[in-house]
Amino acid sequence: MQLQDGWLFMSLEEISIQVQNCKKCRLWQTAQHGVPGEGPADAKIMIVGQNPGAEEDQTGRPFVGRAGKFLTKTLAEYGIKREDVFITNIVKHTSPENRKPYDDEVAACVPYLNQQIAIIKPKVVVLLGASAKETPRVPGIEYFEIVHPSAAMRFTKMREKFRAQITELVKRIQQPN
């Protein structure tokens, strides 16, 4: 281990364990499980949402609800397998009534995401919907904002935009470094 930005440099597994035991903000008190994220350590694509919902809280896994299934299905249509992508959230515990995480909760939790990005070093970090505004950018990593799948599910115009953005994402992934 080495120090990085005041944090011990950890493995993805160590981050998962830390998230499960974390009490750095109030959200652990009302959640059932921490949801650290999942996917391969050498993923080319990381997908980042805002925070886990009810089904994610129950299972401890990210994007397993309706929007997650829609995202997984749409990615597969464009040749991107979910198991090749690292999927996570900015904030790793759900919030009461699924409210938007407060600024201090984001600030407390975001170092986990930054560590995950530093370990995986993906080609592109895909930011879903509102998560785009709250994710600090790590230098040297490309960020790509797309419509949140829950909006794409509900609104035809958003769905068209979502599909166009995934088409663009595929092009970027295929470009040489």
CA dihedral over 117, 119, 120, 124, signed as positive or negative? positive
Residue closer to ligand SF4 by CB (options 27, 48) is 27
**Residues contacting 63, CB < 8 A, separation 6+:** 47, 49, 56, 71, 72, 87
CB of 62 to ligand SF4, least distance (A): 13
Query: Using CA atoms, how far apart are residues 19 and 37, in angstroms rounded to an integer?
Result: 10
The interface mask with ligand SF4, positions 29-48, x = CB under 6 A, is -----x--------------
CB of 68 to ligand SF4, least distance (A): 19
- DSSP-derived secondary structure letter, 97: G
CA dihedral over 95, 76, 66, 39, signed as positive or negative? negative
Question: Which parts of 65-104 interact with ligand SF4 (CB under 6 A)?
Answer: 91-93
Residue closer to ligand SF4 by CB (options 70, 102) is 102
CB of 101 to ligand SF4, least distance (A): 7
In this structure, what token pair is assigned to residue 140? 């040297």
Other CB atoms within a 10 A radius of the CB of residue 174 amount to 9
Residue closer to ligand SF4 by CB (options 72, 94) is 94
Among 109, 117, 125, 169, interactor with ligand SF4 by CB under 6 A? 109
Residue type, 13: E
CA dihedral over 169, 139, 88, 151, signed as positive or negative? negative
Q: From 17-25, 69-77, 116-124, 145-153, give the range in contact with ligand SF4 by CB under 6 A.
A: 17-25
Among 45, 75, 108, 146, interactor with ligand SF4 by CB under 6 A? 108
Binding site residues, ligand SF4, CB under 6 A: 19, 22-25, 27-28, 34, 91-93, 105, 108-109
